[in-house]
Chain A
Amino acid sequence: MTLITFLLVCVAGMLLTLLTMPFARLSRLVALGSLAGALAAAVLLNPNDSVTLGEVTLATTWFGGFFLSALAASSLLLCVIGLATGWPERLAPAALATMAGVGVAISSTDPTVALIAAAAATAPAALVASRVRSTPLGTTVGIAELRTLALVVSASVLAAVTILNTNWNSDDPTFVLALAFLVVSAAVAVRSGAVPFHVPAALLSRSGEGLGLVLSLVWIPTGFGLIALSWNASIFGVPGDWLDRAVVVVQIVAIATLILGAVGAMLHDEIEEIVVYSIVQDTGFILLALTARSEDAAQPARLWLLAFVIAKSALVAWAAAASWAFESSNLGELRGWLRRAPILGIALVVIVAATLGWPGSPVFEARGTLVGLGLPDPLHFIGTAAILLSLAYYVRLLAVGLLTPTDTVRRAGGDWPHWPHLARETDESVEAAARTASPLVLAVATNLVELEDEASGDDEGVPHRRPNLYLRHRLAAAWRLNRPLETSLLVLATATIAAIVAFGGFGASDASQSGITLDDAAAPPPNPSGLDNGGQPTDTPSAEPTAVPTLQLAPSAPPLASPSPSDSPSATPTATATTGN
């Protein structure tokens, strides 16, 4: 029931947020409440929960709950940051819809349901992209979004059919597998903006989406990539010429993404574009996990996905906070930003640590393992090159921040703490503070103004007869003055959570061990190609009606035993891909 509760909270929250959108204040309250509710429901997910709907079982795992919690926490933190930097009005409902789709996808034991739900979870990206539809750029963004959706849908369905059916009428059965591998990898690459499919992502970065970028470029691709990885080793882990050629193609795309993504981040001067290319670069590791086709890549891939979700969310939040604090996103105008916003600088360093790690740290080892398994030996230097290139653009960001501040940066307050000096403030200043303050501050300040006539003791309006009101007055002003500081602290908190998860904290290491792994002892992997690992034909013609290959994510979930509706006794290899451990 915990899974159903989570899904209900997400769907109801999405609908309520959309319905209340004309009422801005109410919509924000509903959105924040729904995200908080979704986070609570995700945290409380029972790892052994399972629900059977018709012939399909939805089963939860520890990792599934952890991943959904990471998504919900990132969404909530970014929306809270958005209260200061500019409310992303469609991000919350889109995030809730995506979480619902991903929740169904990663808990379904039926591959078709999982992949269709994963495809449906990519549709909410249009909610964010539609913000710019009234501009000429918006048309291009919309077309790119719909084409991406078309590719994801067709790839998902083709992959599902490939998993479910083994009666392909082909001389080389691995051709169908290779085709399915290629389209699924292409869907992951296109959805995540890998090179050479990075143009929509670049367009999105120029459209002023702000915090909305994280949905299209991080949360949705990660969820879809997780589904693709969940059965990657079990389905595609067979030899075959066609499959090997398809793997080479994906490896080329992954290498290009790892190198050119970092180069793009170094060449651009707008921090949104730098952030987008940084995200694009790191999606190369998801493609490497796909090309690994090995169970050994499952655990590091899952840990990397967790770190990727939160660290890149923190990076997008950092960019939003920096743009807002300095009123510019151009790196040339942001010279010296680090001097005025040291907390943002600390947050960026923490984000770098969470993304790259250091030798021996879990995230560093995870990246190294994915490079080692996904690429042939002569190309293992690509991993080191990717780290160095990433460091280059991160160091560039920090180095620019240490230069002499520009006028733009000088004009901004930065995130140093400020304490207002109100020794001789008058009613007007109190009203000015009240006008721009939060509701609590507004009430306090209004109260102060009303009582000042009675409480003031001298000719200058200083309320020394009510010292508590005076203090509240100063607190209200301090709250308003220190808004950049508060935003920076929220970004730092997000980055810290990302670092903790990346280093295996909060149980991330244990969670990444569980979940979608192949259990050889319980059932053999599906072998639709009819070949064994040595490339020889298997001797299991299997005249028996076979069980449908299933994705079993939970150890306790019973394998789906829906009989294949094959109306012929012809051979379908025994293929029960139980993926729980």
Chain B
Amino acid sequence: MLDAAVFAAVAVVLGGVVAATARDGRIVVLGLMLAAVAATLVASPLPGSLAVTARILGAMLAAYLLWAAAGSGKVNSAGSAIGLVAEGAVAVAAFAVGLALRPVDPLAGPVEAQAAGLSLIALAIVPLAGRDVFRMGVGVTLLTLGSSLLVGAWSGPTPPLEQLAMAALLVGIAGATSLLIPSLEAEEAATDYVLESAPAPVATARPVAARPVAPRPAALRPPAVPIKSNAPERVAAPNVAPLQAVAERKPMTAETPKPIEPIEPIQPIEPEKRPRPMTAEPEADDWLAWEAPAPEPAQPVTTRSARRAPVKRLNEIEKPAPKKATRSRPHLGGKP
């Protein structure tokens, strides 16, 4: 008769495969949660109810943190780099190896835990090798779950405090991942475009090889469109205009090749400007800030400190002319 640990181990691997291959961030999170919850149950004997509760709550909290990041629209996972079938094959192969392998003899825990742990570690390799922060966080989570399963297999049942520490670790990893996921703009700026060395008035960024432009058939070439330009005749027309003409054509049919999307004129991208270190603009109403700098555009600034205006001495403040004493109330006494 099959042990419950076997079903839990299979659920762990399934969850891992889903997390490693899904494109939708929310499905990835569901897969991770399935793997994390089931990993708690791959043990013999089962841990106490308190420990199981702690692990399940930790898994749910970790999933919620990732879900929040995925639901905010910032997650743009590309899915598995090697495909669902390949990931599944890797997972099954690692599971089989884990069933047969005996690095520790005798095992202190169930062999299914070792198999599931190796499977998750194998699944974590591809995401960890990439440059997608979300998928890398998934990889770290899978690696942690796999390692915890190996600890259970090689060292036996884990005490409740260890389960609690593992839950905290999973939450920490999920929190770190959700915090480190870059915004879409930053991701595109980091991966899709390469800065030209010399800035030009028109867009000078070019797509990198990750998005190759398919050669256009001759039939799709845009007709000659007269270009209204104030430039002298000998000046060549900007090459953006033909692409705009492509965009104005009627939609293509299914048989025709996919048209090339027009390249929008892009504003010149400034060279990377390093943020000013050590300081941050305090809020205007922040009374705990010891300084609320008054911006003074005429002041020359340095390269790394353009955002903070210098402190103006009190005796440098422009003094208005002394005003006449216009008191409506009588003096309280003393010198008249």
Contacts and interface: CB of A to CB of B under 8 A. Distances in A.
Contacts of A459: 322-325
Contacts of A158: 147
Nearest to A129: B180
Interface in A377-419: 407-408, 411-413, 418
A146 B180 contact: yes
Contacts of A167: 104-106, 108
Interface string A122-161: 0111110110111111111111011101100110011011
B182 to A, nearest CB: 5
Interface in B135-158: 136-137, 139-140, 143-144, 147-148, 150-151, 154-158
A327 B169 contact: no
A211 B278 CA distance: 6
Contact of A157 (B147, B277, B285, B310): B147
B261 to A, nearest CB: 23
B279 A86 contact: yes
Contacts of B319: 424-426, 428-429
Interface in B262-279: 272, 274-279
The listed residue with most A CB atoms (<10 A of its CB), out of B136, B168, B277, B280, is B277
Contact of B278 (A132, A149, A329, A454): A329
B264 to A, nearest CB: 20
A323 B292 contact: no
Nearest to A149: B140
Contact of B190 (A129, A139, A438, A455): A139
A432 B317 contact: yes
B230 interface: no
Nearest to A207: B275
A290 to B, nearest CB: 21
B288 A25 contact: yes
A387 B111 CA distance: 52
B214 interface: no
Contacts of B322: 424, 426, 459-461
B140 A146 contact: yes
B334 A146 contact: no
Interface string B306-324: 0010110111010110111
B276 to A, nearest CB: 6
B189 A453 contact: no
B180 A133 contact: yes
A457 interface: yes
Contacts of A568: 106
Contact of A84 (B128, B191, B290, B302): B290
Contacts of B313: 413, 418, 420, 481
Interface stretch (B22-30, B78-86, B170-178): B170-178
Contacts of A120: 165, 168-169, 172
Contact of B290 (A83, A101, A169): A83
Interface stretch (A106-114, A253-261, A344-352, A360-368): A106-114
Nearest to B168: A120
A461 B157 CA distance: 80
B106 A146 contact: no
B255 to A, nearest CB: 40
B176 A566 contact: no
A413 B302 CA distance: 16
A165 B315 contact: no
Contacts of A294: none
Contacts of A411: 299, 310
Contacts of B131: 139, 143
Interface stretch (A53-61, A63-71, A224-232, A281-289): A53-61
Contact of B303 (A141, A330, A442, A465): A330
The listed residue with most A CB atoms (<10 A of its CB), out of B162, B175, B299, B320, is B162
B277 A208 contact: yes
B69 to A, nearest CB: 11
A103 to B, nearest CB: 12
A209 interface: yes
A422 interface: yes
Contacts of B331: 457
The listed residue with most B CB atoms (<10 A of its CB), out of A146, A168, A435, is A146
A29 interface: yes
Interface in B87-137: 102-106, 108-109, 124, 128, 131, 133, 136-137
A195 interface: no
Contacts of A86: 278-280, 282
B39 to A, nearest CB: 13
Nearest to B163: A54
A210 B159 contact: no
B294 interface: yes
B159 A110 contact: yes
A183 B264 CA distance: 49
B277 A272 contact: yes
A139 B186 contact: yes
Contact of A83 (B159, B161, B289, B320): B289
A85 B278 contact: yes
A217 interface: no
A210 B275 CA distance: 10
A479 to B, nearest CB: 9
A55 B159 contact: yes
Contacts of B124: 150
B181 interface: yes
Nearest to B322: A460
Given A157-B150, A566-B106, A130 B314 contact: no
A565 interface: yes
B90 to A, nearest CB: 18
B159 to A, nearest CB: 4
A550 to B, nearest CB: 12
A562 interface: yes
Contact of B161 (A28, A113, A141, A480): A113
Contacts of B286: 24-25, 28
A242 interface: no
B211 interface: no
B103 to A, nearest CB: 6
A489 to B, nearest CB: 13
19 contacts: A24-B282, A110-B159, A116-B169, A133-B186, A134-B185, A146-B137, A146-B180, A206-B274, A208-B276, A272-B278, A323-B279, A329-B305, A330-B304, A420-B313, A426-B323, A436-B294, A439-B287, A480-B311, A483-B291
Interface of B: 51, 102-106, 108-109, 124, 128, 131, 133, 136-137, 139-140, 143-144, 147-148, 150-151, 154-162, 165-166, 168-169, 172-173, 175-177, 179-183, 185-187, 189-191, 272, 274-280, 282-283, 285-294, 299-305, 308, 310-311, 313-315, 317, 319-320, 322-325, 327, 329, 331-332, 334-335
